[in-house]
Amino acid sequence: MLETPKKFTVLAGSAEGPTRLNAFDNALLAAGIGNVNLLRVSSILPPHAVQVAHLEIVPGQLMPTAYGTITSENQGETIAAAVAIAIGGPAEYGVIMEFSGRCTKEEAEEQVAEMARAAFLQRNRELQRIVVQAVEHRVVGIGCAFAAVALWY
């Protein structure tokens, strides 16, 4: 079993690539998380986790990550990805929501923030703040938008 992460970083990036996978990989690089192995996790921020602005990574390490992503080959299309963290008291766990769609950054931010509020309401929790990160991308050839919450140690 992995230990419980103590830190989190919220990030987003977008990019083009010659293939869908390259566009995704380039979006990861743009977000600053391209040289690790993502372990996709569901949506709980551990209690006492501290937000850190920049990742401290070792290439190839395993990184638990909750993320939203979208890739498109429709030239001129606007795509967006967003994450939101609903946070209560410092000793309580938080809830992470992810969103991606064919929309603007602002629309993605609104949607994911509402999802985070609804998750806290469903849990009968008192919401103190919401952290949101989003990115928008206008597709040129093959584009990808990626937003994430990286959980680390």
- Which of residues 1 and 31 earns the better pLDDT score? 31
Number of folded domains in the chain? 1
Residue 20 lies in a domain: yes
Of 152, 126, 150, whose CA–CA distance to 10 is shortest? 150
Residue 2 lies in a domain: no
How many CB atoms lie under 10 A from the CB of residue 49?
Answer: 21
Mean pLDDT of 15-36: 98
Our CA angle for 57, 58, 62, nearest 5°, is 85
pLDDT of residue 118: 98
pTM of the model: 0.96
Residue where the block lists tokens 């209560």: 88
Catalytic residue among 14, 26, 43, 72: 43
Q: Does the active-site annotation cover 100? A: no
Residue 1 lies in a domain: no
What percent of the chain lies above the pLDDT cut of 70?
A: 100
Catalytic residue among 14, 26, 72, 98: 98
Q: Which domain holds residue 70?
A: 7-152
Tell me how far apart the alpha carbons of residues 88 and 105 are, in angstroms, rounded to a whole number: 25
Mean pLDDT of 123-130: 96
Checking if the pLDDT of 1 tops 80, the result is no
Question: Any idea what the CATH number is for the domain that residue 21 is in?
Answer: 3.50.20.10
- Which of residues 31 and 90 earns the better pLDDT score? 31
Q: Does the active-site annotation cover 22? A: no
β-pair type (50-51, 7-16) = parallel
Residue 51 lies in a domain: yes
CB neighbour list of residue 114: distance below 8 Å, 6 or more residues apart = none
